[in-house]
Structure 1
Amino acid sequence: MNEKPAMVPPGPDERRDSLGNQAHDSSNAGQRDPSGAGSSARTGSRPSPLRVVGIGLALCAVIVLALGIVWSRQPPTFDVAALQATELAAIEGSRPVPGTAVVAAAIGVGETLLDKPGGFLFNDITPPGIYLDNMPNWEYGALKELRDSVRALRNDFSRSQTQSIENDHAKRADVKLAIDASSWMLPSAEDEYRQAMDSLRLFLRDLSTGRDRSARFYARADNLAAYLSVVEKRLGSLALRLSASVGDHELAAALIMNVGDPNAEMEPEIESMKIDGGGGATPWYLVDDIFYEARGYTWALLHMMRAVSIDFADILASKNADISIQQIIRDLEGASKTMASPIVLNGHGYGFLANHSLVMASYISRANAAVLDLRILMQQG
């Protein structure tokens, strides 16, 4: 019968060696564990590439949103008389002759379009400009009035009669402003508009110093009446388009100016609305576009009317038309007031919500009536 060999108890020296080896192993294990834990902690603290991309996109979205809010604010009005003095102070030997206020106001409107926060946004193809629609429509309205004013300067204000020669600087400014506002390269709209402002400054220099005999400004009643005739059509069209926000045919028909005058010319949208009985309501996604276009036009027209009150002061006084021009300015100031609402509301009639388009149409219709009275006064002998 096999027997297991008897276990001999280890001696004192063997026990010490065993305990020493265990302690050494434990010490090594303890040294390795913290190192492993630290490595694991460092590996887990590194953000993943997906997380980095997400944080970057979130920051970009916040920046784009903030810029969009800042760039969508309407620029403040400027003092036409102060701008006229500033422009003339930069020209040696200049003096404030009639016409310098109108030219200075046109320069101020044009440079506001180019130098306001965000610059000219209508032709932007990158965010946030490409996503904005309120400010680009505001710019288009202001640009429309600027084009009308510069064209009147070229064809009426700077010419004494039909056989007179047009000024080269006024002509070049008109041509440069006629470029498509959506053009963004070769050439860009901003570059062309900047050149137009340079041409207006050259016209202002020649006008205020008398260096060029072709640079003249004739502050006559018939010239002003021709410009006011264009303004009438613009305001009548805007009032009609704004009133269409509720699709009220009777209200739209009441805002049509000069319907009974067979010689009065109408813009295409006014004529079509007259024929078809008023048309339907403006689609909801176009209400704010028309509203901000009207805001831009009235903002630019406000400065031009202030300039007209300066350059045509003698004519207005002789025609007893001071009250009419001041009424136009007051109504345009009302149309350009700062909005408290962040969005354009489109309520109906006396409903729960306001209708900002009808409020704007009311101001514009009052201004249009005053423009009509002023034009009639200018045409009377």
Structure 2
Amino acid sequence: MLDAVKRTFMGLWSALRRSAGLFYIAVSWPFRARHSTAGKRSLIFRAVVALLVLVLVAAYGQFLWRTQVWNGFDPEFAKAYGFADRKVAAGQSLPDKPGTCQNSGIVATVADLTDGNVNQNDWVSSTLLYKLGFFGLDWDDTPFFDNKASFQRGVNQVARRVAIELADNLGRVRGTSGINTDLQDARGNIQFDESTWYFGLSPFGFKTPSPGYYRAAIKSWRKFNSDLETCKAVFDARADNLVQLLDRSANDLGNTSDILRRRSEEHNAGWFDMRADDRFWFAYGQLYAQYAIFQAASADFADVIRERNLTAIWAEMEKQMAAALRIQPMIISNGSEDGIFMPNHLSTMGFYILRVRANMVELRGVLER
């Protein structure tokens, strides 16, 4: 019996060796011909193959750089704006500078967040190699090269939300005046598809890639803030506008929390859950952007926050956001909630998101009373 099993495995091994030998001959024959016409053709063939290999190495080297190097990443970057030192709400006249108004921290922050996505870094989701995937498999379905793209999409989701609020409410007087054209243009551009490359099939033809539209949005936001500084634009820092911003941001967090919960419950595979990382980093990017936006909002709505005694609740919300952003595991695990070796980072992030959302709901409740 043992001899039969041994002969079977030896036969399989022999067959594998012969197959490997035939494959080697088939691939290497152009490189071994040297003294004939075939040999001359093989030189051309080798040169073409070498060129293709060099192109692939360069392309994937660039792809590795784009996906693994995070320029300007700093959860506390908004501290540099000095929002806590501002004495005047957005859109109000500066007493020490006649003819000048306070610009909007929210607008400056959303422009810089988007600038970080497309100028300080490459926008990963629309690059060719990211769209091609890993041998046809979407990078989001692998544990490789998708964390930065997911983070960027989380930041962009917040930018899209803020763009809507700016165009529809904050940049208009009580929502009845005309829409500011710069804010309207920014809203349209930041909503553009996140994965458009220079060429596409639906519709067929050449296209402007996604980063081009996002750069146009940055330009429009900065133009609006320049006009606001010279009192040529308006920023309506009313309590009901802050309620809208809080309410819709809380709804976005609620949706993200539900996504994390469902992933955690339905795909409990520890380190081997291939989609856990992009779910985590999308949520992280969303909180990263909201943390900066709401630090800016505390300056833009300074009068409302002071008059409604919201300072302590607001500070607690920012504290919870900062705590969530300190969670930066090297490998994202979607294990059981009481696991020892494979923790559940999705549940942990979901817990902090719900705490932040609860603070937003509390703030909204106080403002509505």
**Normalising by the residue count of structure 1, what TM-score does the alignment of the two structures yield?**
0.68
Distance 1:355 1:122 in 2: 26
1:154-190 C-alpha deviation (Å, 9 max, x unpaired): 1111122242111111111101111111112322111
The unaligned stretches of length 5 or more in structure 1 are 1-48, 86-91, 248-279
- Taking a change above 3 Å as real, the CA distance of residues 318 and 348 of structure 1, as seen in their structure-2 partners, is same
* Alignment match, 2:204: none
Paired residues for 1:1-381 under 5 Å: 63=61, 67=65, 70-71=68-69, 75-77=73-75, 79-80=77-78, 82-83=80-81, 95=100, 97=102, 100-117=104-121, 119-126=122-129, 131=139, 132-185=145-198, 186-210=207-231, 212=232, 215-247=233-265, 280-281=266-267, 284-337=273-326, 339-341=328-330, 343-352=331-340, 353-380=342-369
Residue 346 of structure 1, CA deviation? 1.2
- Taking a change above 3 Å as real, the CA distance of residues 93 and 112 of structure 1, as seen in their structure-2 partners, is farther
Residue 62 of structure 1, CA deviation? 8.2
Whether the 8 Å CA contact 1:77–1:299 is kept in 2: the answer is yes
Whether the 8 Å CA contact 1:158–1:167 is kept in 2: the answer is yes
1:303-357 C-alpha deviation (Å, 9 max, x unpaired): 101001111112111111111211121111122225242x211110211221111
User: For 1:285, what is the secondary structure of its paired residue?
Assistant: coil
User: For 2:297, what is the secondary structure of its paired residue?
Assistant: helix
Q: Which amino acid counterpart does residue 80 of structure 1 have in structure 2? A: A
Whether the 8 Å CA contact 1:106–1:146 is kept in 2: the answer is yes
Whether the 8 Å CA contact 1:83–1:104 is kept in 2: the answer is no
Distance 1:189 1:139 in 2: 13
Q: Number of paired residues?
A: 290
Name the larger-Rg structure. Answer: 1
User: For 2:126, what is the secondary structure of its paired residue?
Assistant: coil
Residue 286 of structure 1, CA deviation? 2.2
Distance 2:166 2:52 in 1: 54
The unaligned stretches of length 5 or more in structure 2 are 1-45, 84-96, 134-138, 140-144, 199-206
Whether the 8 Å CA contact 1:64–1:127 is kept in 2: the answer is no
Distance 2:54 2:315 in 1: 53
Identical positions, percent:
22
Larger mean Cα displacement after TM superposition, 122-131 or 310-319: 122-131
Runs of 4+ in structure 1 off by over 4 angstroms are 49-62, 92-96, 127-131
- Taking a change above 3 Å as real, the CA distance of residues 78 and 52 of structure 1, as seen in their structure-2 partners, is same
Q: Which amino acid counterpart does residue 354 of structure 1 have in structure 2? A: P
Q: Which amino acid counterpart does residue 77 of structure 1 have in structure 2? A: P
Distance 1:317 1:236 in 2: 27
- Taking a change above 3 Å as real, the CA distance of residues 223 and 288 of structure 1, as seen in their structure-2 partners, is same
- Taking a change above 3 Å as real, the CA distance of residues 229 and 93 of structure 1, as seen in their structure-2 partners, is same
Whether the 8 Å CA contact 1:64–1:128 is kept in 2: the answer is no
Whether the 8 Å CA contact 2:71–2:120 is kept in 1: the answer is no
- Taking a change above 3 Å as real, the CA distance of residues 194 and 65 of structure 1, as seen in their structure-2 partners, is closer
- Taking a change above 3 Å as real, the CA distance of residues 83 and 184 of structure 1, as seen in their structure-2 partners, is farther
Q: Which amino acid counterpart does residue 234 of structure 1 have in structure 2? A: D
Residue 112 of structure 1, CA deviation? 0.7
Whether the 8 Å CA contact 2:101–2:228 is kept in 1: the answer is no
User: For 1:245, what is the secondary structure of its paired residue?
Assistant: helix
User: For 1:147, what is the secondary structure of its paired residue?
Assistant: helix
**Normalising by the residue count of structure 2, what TM-score does the alignment of the two structures yield?**
0.70
Whether the 8 Å CA contact 2:253–2:357 is kept in 1: the answer is yes
Distance 1:84 1:147 in 2: 24
Distance 1:106 1:168 in 2: 17
- Taking a change above 3 Å as real, the CA distance of residues 127 and 141 of structure 1, as seen in their structure-2 partners, is closer
- Taking a change above 3 Å as real, the CA distance of residues 196 and 58 of structure 1, as seen in their structure-2 partners, is closer
Whether the 8 Å CA contact 1:96–1:208 is kept in 2: the answer is yes
Whether the 8 Å CA contact 1:145–1:300 is kept in 2: the answer is yes
Residue 65 of structure 1, CA deviation? 7.7
- Taking a change above 3 Å as real, the CA distance of residues 84 and 189 of structure 1, as seen in their structure-2 partners, is farther
